[in-house]
Structure 1
Amino acid sequence: MAILTRPKLTLLQWLGYLGLIPFILLPLLSATGLMGFGPALRLFQLYSALILGFMAGVLWPVLYRPRAARRQALVAVAFPVVSFLGFALMVPARWLVLQAALFLGLRLFEYLAGVDRRYPTYYVVLRWQLTGVVVLMHLLYTLAW
């Protein structure tokens, strides 16, 4: 009888899944009344903007190719800039939708720019999983608004 063993998670997988905790925990704390809606939303927004900027920033070394570097770097930088401007100028409900679109857009940009071909399959799957949860949590938080 063969025993099925589950492969061990890599450090990147652990970090990715742990990074979802604030995206899930803050709306739950707010929904259960353990944290006020306003403070939880602000922390959610701050964390979301931070993670989007981080994810866009880590693309720079991966995207660096002399011919396409300028255009791709400008696109990668645009995601956190648009997020920041939206945060400053939009009501939270609209910003949450914008932020969900930015996370999905960043993931699609990674795919279209060929980043997926540079990473192992498990990482590509991880990125889609994480992006899916993050987008879903933004849209669910929008419904609570």
Structure 2
Amino acid sequence: MLHILGYAGLIPFVMLPIVSLVWPLVAPAQALLVFQFYSCLILGFMAGAIWPVLYQPPAETTRAIWAVSFPVLAIIVIALLPAYSLVALAGLFVALRLYEYFTELNQHYSRAYRQLRNQLTTVVVICHLAFYIGYAYV
């Protein structure tokens, strides 16, 4: 069931760029705004998903601060650097995954969940970069 939910969460990441750039059902600027908000939402959700792991020893306050910083940084990037927000958001998804890996939080996940996270993060990053490149030509 988790795999289905994970893959279903990719639908807006995949469909918004396609719908706005290939089949202009929605104005590109409007699709971009929804994409950015959805990206922040999912980034916050993914960062929040590590909270149960933080409650296991040895949990550190700095880990919790890092975990909540990802969605906060996403909002700041959208507000201050809107032209580069898609690239920055893609980087934040990669940074979150690397954070989990290098802080060894990743070891608390099952192998299946690690694989799912890697797949989902890869698709999300590709969608961000593709939308950025496609939006540059609109």
Asked if TM exceeds 0.5, the reply is yes
- Tell me how far apart the structure 2 counterparts of residues 64 and 41 of structure 1 sit (CA, whole Å): 36
2:111 aligned to which of 91, 98, 121: 121
Residue of structure 2 equivalent to 1:72: 63
The amino acid across from 1:142 in the alignment is Y
**What SS class does the counterpart of residue 17 from structure 1 fall into?**
helix
Which residue of structure 2 aligns with residue 33 of structure 1? Answer: 24
Larger relative contact order (CA 8 Å, sep ≥ 6):
2
Q: 1:51 maps to what in 2? A: 42
TM-score of the aligned structures, taking structure 1 as reference length: 0.87
> Is 1:84 aligned to residue 83 of structure 2?
no
CA distance in 1, matches of 2:120, 2:126: 10
CA distance in 2, matches of 1:83, 1:65: 27
Provide the secondary structure at the position in 2 that maps to 1:41: helix
Partner of 1:110: 100
Partner of residue 141 from structure 1, selected from 112, 131, 136: 131
**SS of 2:90 mapped into structure 1:** helix
Write the distance in 2 (CA, Å) between the matches of 1:44 and 1:125: 24
Say whether 1:61 aligns with 2:52. Answer: yes
TM-superposed deviation, 1:66: 5.0
| Alignment pair present for 1:16 and 2:6 | yes
What residue is the counterpart of 1:96 in the other structure?
A: 86
Instruction: Name the amino acid aligned to 1:44.
Output: F
Q: Matched residues in 1 for 2:56 and 2:115: separation?
A: 24
Q: 1:119 to 1:65 in 2, by over 3 A?
A: closer
Count of aligned pairs between the two proteins: 134
Gaps of 5+ in 1: 1-10
Q: Which amino acid letter does the alignment assign opposite residue 42 of structure 1?
A: L
| TM-score, normalised by the number of residues in structure 2 | 0.92
Quote the Cα distance in structure 2 between the aligned partners of 1:109 and 1:17. Answer: 22
Larger radius of gyration, structure 1 or 2? Answer: 1
Distance 1:16 1:65 in 2: 24
Shift of 1:103: 0.2
